[in-house]
Amino acid sequence: MSSSHLAMWASPKPSLLPDLDSLSSCPRSPFLRSAPNPFHSPSRPSTAIHCGLRELRGRIDSVKNTQKITEAMKLVAAAKVRRAQEAVVSGRPFSETLVEVLYNINEQLQTDDIDVPLTKVRPVKKIALVVVTGDRGLCGGFNNAIIKKAESRIAELKTLGLDYTIISVGKKGNAYFIRRPYIPVDRFIEGGSLPTTKDAQAIADDVFSLFISEEVDKVELLYTKFVSLVKSDPVIHTLLPLSPKGEICDINGVCVDAAEDELFRLTTKEGKLTVERETVRTPTPAFSPILQFEQDPVQILDALLPLYLNSQILRALQESLASELAARMSAMSSASDNAVELRRSLSIVYNRQRQAKITGEILEIVAGADALT
């Protein structure tokens, strides 16, 4: 089954439930009434369908098979989003330890006049936007939300009279910007099924070269932050220049580094899948105040800041993947519910027609018996 057919089932809105009339190519009869659809407005005139029992049985089987597909896709997405969450949490101690090291080095260098290129703040004339999208569809409005966020930011930059360039990450974003040649794109990058340090390094090398060569004065990262299974927020964070303390800051300069993660576990309750949530805060060992560095702190800072940049890009890719899988899980759940509703409506029409056929045959037998007597 093609993705264009599955997209019809993946709508999270009840109003997009496929109508029986749209699925039927059979001639319509004014003498038969179809089952009322509660999601249709009363002002719309109802048109009844008149199909043979064999055609209706085929349609019911088709809906049943589609329901099995969407339920399987939901379970696959649930398993993958769990692994994506674990990847985010497992990388947190490394990132937080880097923050501690950067903070303490910065404390020692407060009295020194040092020049670290990645933390140098320049007058902004041109901005690079790293837009992270997904590689696949059937995930509701996930890709549209981050693309609209990018379009909104581009409009703001045009209003301020600033130049911009795009670094597109993900097949959906690549296809969107390729169809719009008037938007300047520096590079197209295709993401993998599971983000790796190699993928993050490819993005980090590109933004690093743009910023160090002063082709751009600021780099912003647009991705979808994973909040919960039913909520994901498109966010914009300032990637470069980096904060000397190693914090994540939004476009307004407010540091918004995440402190907690919400994990979920799929369980069964009364024969149905349920979700148990728990909040996880990964402890980080305290940085020793008596620790001394053998090398020059400036050299250590030059080595750690690119590493921290890479880790933050990797975390954004992992959160974007978790958000995409959660959106796909929710979309497939809605598609399964729509399939159940459509199957029920078709079964009602099928049972009515079968009953009408049986009643008609009984009337014919009774009329024939009366004619003989």
DSSP 155-189: HHHHHHT-EEEEEEESHHHHHHHHT-TTS-EEEEE
CA distances from 139 to 108, 147, 192, 256, 340 (A): 48, 14, 17, 27, 19
Question: How confident is the model at residue 298, as a pLDDT?
Answer: 74
What confidence score (pLDDT) does residue 157 get?
92
- Burial label for 247, CB within 10 Å (0-12, 13-18, 19+), is middle
| Residue 295 pLDDT class (50, 70, 90 cuts) | confident
Tell me the Cα Rg of the chain: 29
Task: Please tell me the distance from the alpha carbon of residue 13 to that of residue 330, in angstroms, as a whole number.
Answer: 11
* CA torsion angle 153 154 156 160 (round to 10): 140
What is the longest distance spanned by two Cα atoms in the chain?
Answer: 117
| 37 vs 302: which has the higher pLDDT | 302
pLDDT of residue 151: 94
Distance CA 167, CA 150 (A): 11
Q: Is the pLDDT of residue 341 over 70?
A: yes
Burial label, 301 (beta-carbon count in 10 A; 0-12, 13-18, 19+):
buried
Question: What pLDDT, on the 0 to 100 scale, is given for residue 241?
Answer: 84
Q: What number of H helices and E strands is found in the chain?
A: 8, 8
pLDDT at residue 130, as a whole number = 94
Q: Is the pLDDT of residue 191 over 70?
A: yes
Confidence of residue 4 (pLDDT cuts 50, 70, 90): very low
**Residue 190 predicted with pLDDT over 80:** yes
Q: What global pTM score does this model have?
A: 0.72
139 catalytic, yes or no? yes
Amino acid code (one letter) for 321: L
End-to-end CA distance of the chain: 57
What does the alpha-carbon distance between residue 371 and residue 373 come to, in Å, rounded to a whole number?
Answer: 5
Question: Of 51, 139, 249, 255, which one is the catalytic site residue?
Answer: 139
Query: How far does Cα 214 stand from its chain's mean position?
Result: 33
Lowest mean pLDDT among 69-73, 114-118, 224-228: 114-118
- Can you tell me whether residue 250 is helix, strand or coil? strand
Q: Which residue has the higher pLDDT, 171 or 373?
A: 171
Among 13-27, 234-248, 357-371, name the most confident range: 357-371
Q: Is the pLDDT of residue 33 over 60?
A: no
Strand partners, 275: 266
Cα–Cα dist 200/209, whole Å: 14
